[in-house]
Structure 1
Amino acid sequence: MLNTASYANYKVTHSDETFTDWLVKSAKGSWSRAIAHPFTSEVGNDTISTAAFTRYLIEDYHYVQDLASALGFLIAKAPNMASKARLSEFAHQLTSNEIGYFHRTFIELGIAPEVYESTKPNSVTRSIGATLLSTAGKGHYVDGMATLLASEWIYREWGHREASKPRPGRAYLAEWISFLATDEFGEFIDWLKKEIDTIGEEERVKRQNEISESFTHMCELEGEFFDMVS
């Protein structure tokens, strides 16, 4: 039986693996459920209903606003200029390219600004935003980073998987898959992992477990988010 009770225990039999590898193993089913959720393959297979993807897009639009605010906290707490710059680059991409995608797709789907701006996010979307803002704003830098990693890494995993298939016929689905599979996004995920590995491995056992709890909780919420919009 895999012993993930602590990072130290895990390293006894997995000496070549990292702190973020342990976070994934500790998350167990919640990580796998989010990545393999039927919603993700339906997007890649072009079988998702327009209504479901519209719900997803509106909810995700509100999530991105909370994510942008959480990045502000993380930029302020980052330990050096290199880390501040890397997070700032991601925040710029999020608030320009990604928001641009949302606006173009809303137009294509016939969703007026007054609709997507005034729609109240679902309770799960609010929980995801609150978790990001709480860990990034009130917690330690590494707690916020672990929560961010869980959310973004899940998207990278399923997006990269779906990108290995023929692209969906609907252009807005194909563009979303292509975005998740870009080298730039993959490089950002790799940087997040390295940042968290460096800090997490040096933390005390209690703190490591707290970081793991934050990571797992976000994985659980992501699975619930896909349930909600499907």
Structure 2
Amino acid sequence: MTSVKPFNTTADVDPESFAGQLRLSTGADWDASVHHRFVEELFAGTVSDEVLARYLVQDYQFFDAFVAMLGACVATTDSKPARLRFAAQLGMLAADEDGYFQQTFAELEVPDSEVTSPQLTTPTQEFVAQMWEVARSRDYADLLVVLVIAEWLYLDWGERDKPLPEAQKHREWVELHRGDEFRAWTQFLIDELNRVAPPLDSDDGAQLSERWNRVVGIERAFFDAAYSDAPFRD
């Protein structure tokens, strides 16, 4: 079957595939995230330092659990090429993305205490809990559901047809979520999920669908929380 693009996405996904059907089922929350106020202001270079710092501090709390998920995929996949792909991504994550965080926290003068022990928003707590749950489950398909959402949704907003912002703190966050390498990584995850997923109408498929719906909703709430007036810490 030839893959087509059934919705506004840079990934190449068959609408009848497991991932394609799940993506369509959560279109409202997905599109609201891709076109969120934060994304619009990030591209425009008008997002305030306060909002950017709050967003990045919360996003940084995913780093440890995300690394654990990739490690769990290395241990649980039935494919040697996939195992090597996950291992390579672990190295990139530590070198590139963590470097952006550290550089931008320094530029925004975010205290170390707020980076290492912030007050977590509800969406952050919920997302971290989902990530650790699948990491500890050692269920490859369940791991892929969360990874696909985390990367695919960001690819969709990162590759929007808009001029890049000038400031490095804005531009680099966009660049980390677009381009050939990130697109290929995201496509790999989608293809792996479609390869190993059970039928959507099975009990296992229904459980994965429930996970998908919950996590996409959390992603939308996470963007909203960047505009909360709550401080980093009590």
Q: Which amino acid aligns with 1:60?
A: D
Alpha-carbon distance, 1:113 to partner: 2.5
State yes or no: 1:226 paired with 2:223.
yes
CA deviation profile, 1:176-224 (whole Å, cap 9, x unmatched): 1112112111001100111111112557622122111111211100001
Q: 1:209 aligns with which of 206, 210, 232?
A: 206
Inter-partner Cα distance in structure 1 for 2:29 and 2:61: 23
Distance in 2 of aligned mates of 1:178 and 1:188 = 14
Question: CA–CA distance in 1 between the matches of 2:53 and 2:80?
Answer: 38
Tell me if the contact between 1:31 and 1:216 (Cα under 8 Å) persists in the aligned partners. Answer: no
Alpha-carbon shift at residue 125 of structure 1 (Å): 0.8
**Which letter maps to 1:61?**
Y
Tell me by how many angstroms 1:16 deviates. Answer: 6.5
One-letter amino acid of the structure 2 residue matched with residue 115 of structure 1: E
| Structure-to-structure mapping, 1:1-230, within 5 angstroms | 17-138=16-137, 140-161=139-160, 164-200=161-197, 205-230=202-227
Which residue pairs with 2:3 in the alignment?
A: none
State the alpha-carbon separation in 1 of the partners of residues 200 and 162 from structure 2: 40
Greater mean alpha carbon deviation, residues 34-43 or residues 49-58: 34-43
The question of whether the paired residues in 2 share the 8 Å contact of 1:34 and 1:220 is answered with no
How far the C-alpha of 1:82 sits from its partner, in A, is 1.3
1:112 shift after superposition: 3.2
Q: Distance in 2 between matches of 1:158 and 1:175?
A: 14
- Matched residues in 1 for 2:213 and 2:147: separation? 11
One-letter identity of the residue aligned with 2:172: E
List runs of 5+ in structure 1 lacking aligned partners.
Answer: 1-14
Paired letter, 1:186: R
Q: For the residues of structure 1 that align with 2:65 and 2:135, how far apart are their CA atoms?
A: 11
Query: Quick one: which amino acid aligns to residue 189 of structure 1?
Result: T
Identity rate, percent: 27
CA RMSD of aligned residues (A): 1.8
> 2: CA distance between counterparts of 1:228 and 1:16?
31
SS, match of residue 150 in structure 2:
helix
Q: Which runs of 4+ in 1 moved over 6 A?
A: none
Unpaired runs of 5+ in structure 2?
A: 1-13, 228-234
Count how many residue pairs are aligned between Structure 1 and Structure 2.
Answer: 214
Q: Secondary structure at the match of 1:177?
A: helix
TM-score, normalization: structure 1? Answer: 0.86
User: In 1, distance between residues paired with 2:18 and 2:225?
Assistant: 31
Counterpart CA distance in 1 for 2:127 and 2:15 is 32
Structure 1 Cα separation of the partners of residues 111 and 180 of structure 2: 32
Cα gap change, 1:203/1:184 in structure 2, threshold over 3 Å: closer, same or farther? same
Instruction: Kindly provide the amino acid, as one letter, of the partner of residue 125 in structure 1.
Output: T
